[in-house]
Structure 1
């Protein structure tokens, strides 16, 4: 061990959820990186070793001392990366993967994605390199969510590309010589925020959440079990370039961002499905306003409950503007929901749940395009068949369009139901935005 500090608020949240969730592998962040070309495997090992040495979060373990969780930083060590050769007589002359090999790649990918982390042992990335053809490889990269968020994944991929390029060419990389570390972030949190709840923040949330209805009220395909199993699936969908362009036009017209437009549409859809005049949505955002921590390889995500009030007589433009104002105020008073629920109960006698079953993310900080010398790299996420919440919708800018996903509990809904709602969301978003622009 070379360093120790209290866990960050985000790390503590993930540690607690990891130990409470029926399927803790739901907090895995799994990447499949397909590499095509002249891969330099020794350079790859060097780059991965240097990446883990550069970022302490990639060699951290979590231990409990009394009531406090601590992050302990382990010494850097060489990455052990062996090549698993899946090629065989079925491979084609041009190096593409035969069907049997691709099936095996998918099986191994799923196996890696579902690997559970032992937080006390450490959250070092779990790596596997598969050779799938004469000039094709698949690098499987598994992280724990306590280590990273979308912003951090972008940092990781960018640094990896720079380190691999330097290892291949022998030229020095141009990365900063030092980067901020999670231990520094934890100490900054304690010094600036502390563990004592701010009464100004508590009074704001007590007013904002008074009378809020936290259950989403979405119709279920089967009765709700007493305890959810954690099992889940993901539905992928697509918001076309024309709709995205309209979303951005409306955002500019309202003096806001595409986030406000897209979550307003989710509120409208949820209201139509549930028949309720409002929907409480848990919103996650990058929380990277402080420049000193822009290059921090860690999870800094913060979140807050947002009441999307969808009164029938209000225009969509009005809803977007109200969502924008509520979001701005919420970010100014943000506090981890579990801390907030406990503090409201103990300090003000106000009861709110410490979980919101419906979530939303607009991940405009995720960047997965990387350039490697002599190699083409394609990065994709691997989904774990589990769900962190009951229903969680996310959008990620992808070229001129938006890639969408819905992670949902299979205890509550059928796949076809969620596919239908995803299609309804895209249609409703297009219609509402088009009408608002015509006003």
Structure 2
């Protein structure tokens, strides 16, 4: 069983690409869940910009749900890769069973808390009287189906970590195709607006979660979900949370930054600039897809070889991942500078929105290639089980750098609104360099010595 999807054999770049290609496609398809919603919502007659802004206000809440899915999914999956690399199949399955139970428990808890406190949270996160109804209609339905989001997103990591990248891609493909078909039916044909978009998303996530569970309980999986492993054990919980805390904090800090940006933008620019940030975040999701694909595809390979004590292969994997990410991020930055309106019009054609978004977008994505250093360094720490370092650099870029800059820059040098968008590139340079250089001076030499 250990020989199946054995990443200690063959070319390291090939192992990564074999996983990264389907995972990149999966990332693209996964983005379609929310991006397709926004594309249709941005074309609702007589309310496109307000509806799009309302949905944008819900992003921090959605990101928090995904943060918990990352905590238990991306926390358990690298541990499974390391255990499988050592040949400990029973231990790997126990980790997966505990992760599943944690996803269910927290999925129910988040749904309850979200429904109880949604109104004050939405106003806190930047909703106005004009946009609240759209935000409330969307997030209420999304919360009712959040347990499906937790299962499909969290447990799909365990499919990918076993080397079944194509099966993992099919998980997302199934849901995305369903979402693309149902969105126009619910939004326009049934005249349900943003509620229809949310219903389509939740039905799609439900089908994806069924697919994931069917595979992980079937005969083709190397590691299987078994009832005997559902009882949560504190030592395993600590390991999962310790390693998943990096991804959790990264997603949670994204939520905090989104909320702070929306609040600040509401003060300095009103609903229009929250709409601008919604469009920019949507574009960012699209262009970051290959970076997520290559870094996520690298993690199982790095973790497996680390567990098998093939340290030279780990170094080779880190180099390949870093080079590919830097080249891609540099090229996409150039494309964004040349064709900004093309990307904006995917989501909205309002002339006022386009006019305001172009300069904000140029500012926000300046030096975008530096973001690839953050993701490469972060993924290396996670793959090798170095949770403390991964957590620190998650906090450094978002909480220590972005949040203070977002709050202070608009008041300095008459920057106003542009100060909010300037915080991101500054954090990319400072955070990306700090994370990657530290990894090079700590992890890299230790692998060579071993």
Please say whether Structure 1 and Structure 2 have the same fold, judged by a TM-score greater than 0.5.
no
Q: Comparing both structures, which one devotes a greater share of its residues to helix? A: 2
Larger-Rg structure: 1
Q: Comparing both structures, which one devotes a greater share of its residues to strand? A: 1
TM-score (norm 1): 0.28
